[in-house]
C-alpha cells in the first residue's frame, strides 16, 4: 500500500473505529480541513477533535466506510460512505438540529494532501441536501 494511502485510510477509519486519537496521529498542527457543504473549516488536531465530537454526539452509531482511494504522489482522493442514526443534537453553522431518530447514508469525496507523513490539507464534498432530506429537515 502506498504510504499516502495508508495515512488517509488511518484518518478516515479512525471515525469508524471510534478512535479520534488515531486520526489525530496523522494530522499536522497547521492542517486546514474544509467541509465544503457546511462552509466550515477545522484547523489542526483540535479542530479535528471538535468535529469528531460534534458528529459522534449526533450519530453515536455512526460508521465511515472507505470505498475507494486514488493516490497521486502527496495527494489522495478518498471516496467513503458515512451512515448513522440521528439520535443526538446535530450542531452546524446553520444551528442545532434536535434528534430526528432517522438514519442517513451519504456518499462523500475527500481530497487530501500529505506532507512529511501528516495530513496538511483536506476538503470534504457531499450533497448536504440529501442529508437534510434523510433527516427530515427539509421536504
How confident is the model at residue 94, as a pLDDT? 81
How confident is the model at residue 92, as a pLDDT? 84
pLDDT along the chain (139 residues), means of 10: 95 92 97 94 95 95 97 97 97 89 98 98 96 91
Supply the range of the domain harboring residue 61.
3-134
Q: In this structure, what are the phi and psi dihedrals at residue 73, rounded to the nearest 5 degrees?
A: 65, -115
Is 29 contained in some domain? yes
Is 139 contained in some domain? no
How confident is the model at residue 139, as a pLDDT? 78
Is 121 contained in some domain? yes
The model's pTM is 0.91
Q: Of 45, 21, 23, 41, which Cα lies nearest the Cα of 33?
A: 41
Is 98 contained in some domain? yes
Domains identified in the chain, total number: 1
How confident is the model at residue 16, as a pLDDT? 87
Are 88 and 99 in contact, with CB atoms under 8 Å apart? Answer: yes
CATH number reported for the structural domain that contains residue 68 in this entry: 3.10.450.50
Is 81 contained in some domain? yes
Amino acid at each position: 500500500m502506498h504510504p499516502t494511502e495508508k495515512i488517509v485510510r488511518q484518518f478516515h477509519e479512525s471515525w469508524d473505529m471510534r478512535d479520534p486519537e488515531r486520526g489525530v496521529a496523522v494530522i499536522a498542527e497547521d492542517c486546514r480541513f474544509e467541509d465544503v457543504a457546511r462552509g466550515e473549516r477545522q484547523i489542526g488536531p483540535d479542530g479535528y477533535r471538535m468535529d469528531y465530537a460534534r458528529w459522534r454526539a449526533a450519530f453515536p452509531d455512526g460508521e465511515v466506510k472507505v470505498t475507494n482511494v486514488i493516490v497521486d504522489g502527496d495527494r489522495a482522493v478518498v471516496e467513503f460512505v458515512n451512515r448513522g442514526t440521528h439520535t443526538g443534537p446535530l450542531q452546524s453553522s446553520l444551528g442545532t438540529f434536535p434528534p430526528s431518530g432517522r438514519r442517513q447514508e451519504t456518499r462523500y469525496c475527500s481530497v487530501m494532501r500529505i506532507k512529511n507523513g501528516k495530513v496538511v490539507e483536506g476538503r470534504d464534498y457531499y450533497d448536504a441536501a440529501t442529508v437534510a432530506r434523510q433527516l427530515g429537515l427539509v421536504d
